[in-house]
Every structure is written in C-alpha cells, then in structure tokens.
Amino acid sequence: MRRILVTGRGGQLATGLEAALPALGFEALLVGQPEFEFDQPESVIAAFNTLKPDAVVNCAAWTAVDAAEDQEAAAFRANALGPALLGRLSRDAGIPIIQISTDYVYDGLKGAPYLESDAPNPLSAYGRTKLAGEWAAQAANPRCIVLRTAWVFAPMGKNFLRTMLALGEDRPELRVVADQWGSPTAAPDLADAIAAILARLGADGWRDDFAGTYHATGGGFTTWHGFAEAIFAEAARHGGARPKLHAITTAEYPTKAKRPADGRLDNGKLLGIFGVGLPSWEAGLARVMAALRQG
C-alpha cells in the first residue's frame, strides 16, 4: 500500500495528511473542487480511475453546520451520496476506505463519553447527513473504517481557534459558550493518527476486525470557553492579545442548528485495535499555535 487518495484538498484535515502521509512513506494524492465534485459523480469516477489509489481517506464534506439546516439536500449529496460513491469505487477496486465523521451524530444527553456502541441520535441536518454517510460507506464497502472526530482546528482554514484569535485582536472582551463539552482535535494530530492506521493496514494487510466505527479526538475534554481560555493563554505567552472572556450558556448564543451539549467521545477502541492514540488537546493546541507563529 503506497498511494492514498485524499479528498477535500485545501481543507484542514487533507492539508494535515499532505504532510503526515509522506512522513510514513505514502504518496498523498489530493483531490478537490472543481475537478473532483460529488455533485458530478463522473468527475469522481474519472479521478479514481486515473489515480488508481491503494486506499481512500474521505475528508470532503459539507461542514457548514447551520447552513445545512436550510440546505439539507445539498448537505446530503456531499455527506452521504459522496461517501456511497467512494465506497462503491473502493470496494470494486478491493481497497479500504477511511470515512471521516463527527460527534454531531450524538444528541449529547448521555452524560458520559460516548462509546462506538452507543446509539446515535443526531440533532441537526449536518449530523443526520454525516450519519447517513457513515452508513453509506460501510454498506458499500466491507473494508470501511469510520473515524468520528470533533472540534477540529488547524493553522489554516475556518475554525474556532482562528476565529477566536481574530476576534481577540479587535475586542477587549468576548462571550463564549461554557455549557457544551467536547474534545478539541488538532488536524495535524488527527492526520498523524490516520497515517498510523494506514501504516498498520500496510504492514498487516486487511483484517475483518479492522472494519467498523472508531472515535478519534484530542485527549481530554473541555468546553468552548475552556478552549478559548487556553487559546488566549498560549497566545499571551508570545505577546498575543488576551481579552477578558465571559462564560455564557448555549441559550444566550442561539444558532440555527442544535449542537450536542456533551459530545465527549471515548477513544479506547482506536487504541485497543490499532494501537493509535492522539495527544491531549492541549498538546495539539501548542502544536498548532507554534505552526501559526512560524507562519
């Protein structure tokens, strides 16, 4: 196994894989819009047949959570029909696919970190379409690994960390939601974990017990407010702004899409099956902030 097709070129995770895969001896074949477009299945088929990959990592997705509430059909095409097509193509080629999913498949009401065996119950159109994508990819290809992650951030792209830093430069005080729990996940750390999974597949060959759903987030848990506090503490160490943060409730910051209040995920299965774990979210934050400083 050498050639890895990575969809979603230019996105946070695909960009991380662009560095992580070659570090473990893989060739990263990045594809994205406009020449690779799930709304144009023939473009996907053409790219797949031309590149002839040994495995697929599907990072491409509709990620505009609130916009999906009004455009669920479009989100479904990207998040469910796209994975279905990639699942069929990879199955016919006899190769594995890694499908990236989200903690938003859960309702956040468990009160403890979710296990992969817990029943999903998405609260939003985004969550519904991502869950459909999991099922579609798994139904199409028995060699399918689903990785659910959460709160992804990177040195580039649109994410909470970059939004906070930009707002902090302009405003002396910020209001941040403090009653939603999860695990911030640095895209470079997740990319390293995916590369490690692929290395295991390359070394051992496919095993039926590899198939299934796994949780893959930064270690530990916090709230959006706690994450923001850590972001500005790290920024302040290097001369950045440190605005005053006010903890608010979800009700005080209404959004079109409902988010899980407690989307904590248990990562034990990934470690048990593949021997792969992600660093703490704090270590991931330090890594991404260092990359931002190096710019």
Residues identified as active-site: 126
Evaluate whether 261 touches 180 at the Cβ level (below 8 Å).
yes
* Pairwise CA distance, residues 155 & 157, whole Å: 7
Largest distance between two CA atoms of the chain: 56
- Chain position carrying tokens 């399918």: 144
* Positive or negative: CA dihedral 201, 217, 66, 157: negative
* Pairwise CA distance, residues 19 & 152, whole Å: 17
Non-local CB neighbours of 158 within 8 Å, separated by 6+ positions:
none
Evaluate whether 213 touches 148 at the Cβ level (below 8 Å).
yes
Non-local CB neighbours of 152 within 8 Å, separated by 6+ positions:
12, 13, 159, 185, 186, 187, 190
3-state secondary structure 29-69: EEECCCCCCCCCHHHHHHHHHHHCCCEEEECCCCCCCCHHH
